[in-house]
Structure 1
Amino acid sequence: MLTVTQIAKQFGISRSTVLYYEKQQLLLPTYRSENGYRWYGDKETERLKTITSFRSYGLSIASIRSLLARNGLSQTQILKEHFTHLEREIQHLRAQQKAIVVLLQEPSLLEEKMVNKQRWVEIMQAAGFTETDMVKWHQKFEQLEPEEHQKFLESLGISSQEINKIRAF
């Protein structure tokens, strides 16, 4: 059994995040001792592993709640919706970049600042992704949307040979 602090440390998250998940009814302790300490068992540890995995994909608390409750939309539907949302956001940001380039009249900026493989890895690492997390992310993307995964990798300017390696994971 683990305390709030211990389980938070195990997952590399803050104590307040664990308490927030409890408040949101995502993660409840196995029991509370007389002195108010929360204790988490193996079942809760596995649930927190799932929650942190979904959070690493950028899913909202509401989407995670739905996935854990197994009601409403399926995992595939929620992840597709999230992917579509991310794609719209990326397109919106690219449109803003293009507008700025036009205003500055410096087309070279667009080529320099476009998201490439190196920049994407930096973004993922800044978001807390480890190398293993990134591999899992690509595996899930490949599993759910292989054609879109291919397009995404191509948009990063990755060679065909490297794309094949990434998709083979």
Structure 2
Amino acid sequence: MNIQVFSEKTGIPKSTLRFYEEKALLVPIRNKENGYRFYTDAQVELAKLIASLRLINVPLKEVQQYVASAESERQNMRRKWMETIRRQLDLLNLQLKFLDSNPNEEIFLMEKETERILWFSAEERQGRFAKFFQLGREELEKHGVKINHSYLKHVSGRENVRAMIGFGIANHLDVSKISFFEVEEQLSKSLCVATYFRGNFTAIEDAYQSLIKYIVLYNYAPAGPIMEMYQGEQLDAVTIFMPVMKLGGE
């Protein structure tokens, strides 16, 4: 059948069929005399399959690979695509939940990029950890290590608080000779619910309570612990966040 008939039979525009031919996905027989395209009945199902994969945003290279693969490999690829779509659905549902919650300016969504963090433990009264940030920063500066962000992760206690103090650094740096830090962690890329706090840090618990209340009220599922994140050397303002969804296929 010619391209017009094939287009009508499959519901695929002629321009799209030409594109499939250009990418060697669906190659018609060519009439040697006039160069006209002719398709076979056997190509109808293949054309519909290719069109279906493209409609669900499967990348062109993966469609090419799928068409050329055996059934066992096709099953693996379908499982991978299904997992990707499930993650996209989870993300959309979370975004809808956020919008439906009628959030105010105090609560916001934040995408937290993956980051390498060095941690050490500290104990102090609530809101008085500045000296520990200074100690960690001085230790890294002695070794010429640039700091991206500073973090505090609550471990236990309310008045006397046990916490982990962390510093985000570049992945390529060798810190094997720095014994000051106790733990190294690669923080996963995540979508987070967050709030911002500035003021008297002995009252920072109020910001924590506000964030936790929001998370519980709207049934967010924690994907990691609540943390404080400080920008650069600034310690008078902080972003408090909780991961609610891992991103990047983790």
What residue identity is the alignment partner of 1:45? V
- 1:43 corresponds to which residue? 42
2:26 alignment partner, SS class: coil
Shift, 1:27, TM fit: 0.5
**Pairing 1:64–2:63 present:** yes
Mapped contact 1:4–1:40 kept (Cα < 8 A) = yes
Structure 1 counterpart of 2:67, one-letter code: L
User: Could you report, residue by residue, the CA deviation over 1:36-67 in whole angstroms, capped at 9, with x for unpaired residues?
Assistant: 31111233334324324544655333222112
Aligned to 1:109: none
Q: Is the 8 A contact 2:7 2:13 kept in 1?
A: yes
- The alignment status of 1:31 with 2:30, answered yes or no, reads yes
Percent identity of the aligned residues? 25
Once residues 100 and 57 of structure 1 are traced to their aligned partners in structure 2, the CA distance between those partners, rounded to angstroms, is: 25
Measured in 1, the distance between the counterparts of 2:46 and 2:99 equals: 44
How far apart, in 2, do the equivalents of 1:57 and 1:97 lie?
Answer: 21
Counterparts of 1:1-169 in structure 2 under 5 Å?
2-55=1-54, 58-70=57-69, 74-103=73-102
Task: Note closer, same or farther for the CA distance 1:3–1:33 as it changes in structure 2 (3 Å cut).
Answer: farther
Alpha-carbon distance between aligned partners in 2 of 1:15 and 1:67, rounded to the nearest angstrom: 22
Letter in 2 for 1:16: S
Q: Deviations along 1:18-40, whole A, 9 cap, x unmatched? A: 11111111011122343231111
Give the residue type in structure 1 aligned to 2:58: L
By percentage of residues, which structure has more helix?
Answer: 1
Any idea what SS the aligned residue of 1:74 has? helix
Aligned to 1:138: none
| Structure with the greater alpha carbon radius of gyration | 2
- Give the number of aligned pairs: 104
C-alpha distance in structure 2 between counterparts of 1:78 and 1:86, whole Å: 12
Amino acid of the structure 1 residue aligned with 2:77:
I
Kept after mapping to 1: 8 A contact 2:7/2:14: yes
Please provide the CA RMSD for this pair: 2.6
- The structure where strand makes up a greater share of residues is 2
Task: Output the CA distance in 2 between the equivalents of 1:97 and 1:45.
Answer: 39
Partner Cα distance (1:47, 1:101) in 2: 42
Code of the aligned partner of 1:97 = L
Q: What is the TM-score when the length of structure 1 is the normalising length?
A: 0.52
Structure 1: stretches of 5+ with no match in the other structure: 106-169
Task: State the alpha-carbon separation in 2 of the partners of residues 95 and 12 from structure 1.
Answer: 35
Specify the code of the residue in structure 2 equivalent to 1:21: Y
Q: Is the 8 A contact 1:30 1:44 kept in 2?
A: no
TM-score (norm 2): 0.37
Once the 2 structures are TM-superposed, how far is the Cα of residue 89 of structure 1 from its aligned partner? 0.7
